[in-house]
Structure 1
């Protein structure tokens, strides 16, 4: 049985349909030029239009855009940044894996799980401000004490503690 839409939902659906028809080909071509890959460009173009369907991120109705291409270009730029970040992370992981002795090599399933975990960590760290991210990484990767971090970054120990608290809070939230 079809779902009945209200008049505002129907107008929004029609606006999205028109926006898609008018700009999908252009957006996909733009992404294809940047990526050099038809399939990834098609996926990212689709994701850009899907942004209108997500209630948490949709801030404007498709029909209410004054400059739809500028808006779509901005959404696509964010998607490209995420795509390239994931690619860089994957390449770095695979390169590190290639340098491991054969007995330590992971199965494809394990590799996939590790990559997903690294992407979640990267996304979590991206939610921190630049200073807090640097503080957190110095503590966790270089094993520096809070005093050492404060001296290195020329900030107070209290600021280091506050930034670490933010980092740990995001870690805990990501685990739940």
Structure 2
């Protein structure tokens, strides 16, 4: 009997079997990459949380370890990027006067926002990304951006069109 969305217990029994058969392997695989048992266990947990969101895919797996490692790699990349954003943010606020330093709650909100922006802009070429950020965050016009990047205004127009289209498509796929 093949699992279907109308029979969630079969879907989740497949997830349970996947977990039982491959959890130890996945933690070991992650431990070799991270060189840290606690983080490996956390990442394995996150990987299976992702799997729980896609139980219908589990029944059709031919290479479960390849699928799990692919998910885990993506989560590792996301984690690394989040850590980079967090380090850059903490470096940026390190020299602020004490009265200007955001509260812990504001920091969390800002970090979550920066992480979402970073994910949204992922995949853009560096100049396109820079042009977009100069326009949206610094309020620069196309002429000023062209001067800053050493390109023509028409190049900036193309960069902006590309970035806006990319953001629109990325936002709709979330």
The verdict on a shared fold, with TM-score over 0.5 as the criterion, is yes
Does 1:76 find its partner at 2:66?
A: no
Q: Is the contact made by 1:132 and 1:166 (CA closer than 8 Å) also made in structure 2?
A: no
The alpha-carbon deviation at position 79 of structure 1 amounts to 0.1
TM-superposed CA distance for 1:91, in Å, is: 1.1
Q: RMSD of aligned C-alpha atoms?
A: 3.4
Q: Runs ≥4 in structure 1, deviation > 6 angstroms?
A: none
Unpaired segments ≥5 residues, structure 2? none
**Aligned with 1:95: secondary structure?**
helix
Instruction: Tell me whether 1:12 sits opposite 2:11 in the alignment.
Output: yes
Q: Are 1:40 and 2:39 counterparts?
A: yes
TM-score by length of 2: 0.74
Q: Alignment partner for residue 142 of structure 2, among 139, 146, 170?
A: 146
Aligned partners of 1:134, 1:106: CA distance in 2, in Å? 26
Q: How many residues align?
A: 165
Aligned residue for 2:27?
28
Instruction: Note if contact 1:136-1:164 (Cα within 8 Å) is conserved in structure 2.
Output: yes
Report the equivalent of 1:137: 133
Q: Which runs of 5+ in 1 are unaligned?
A: none
Q: TM-score, normalised by structure 1?
A: 0.73
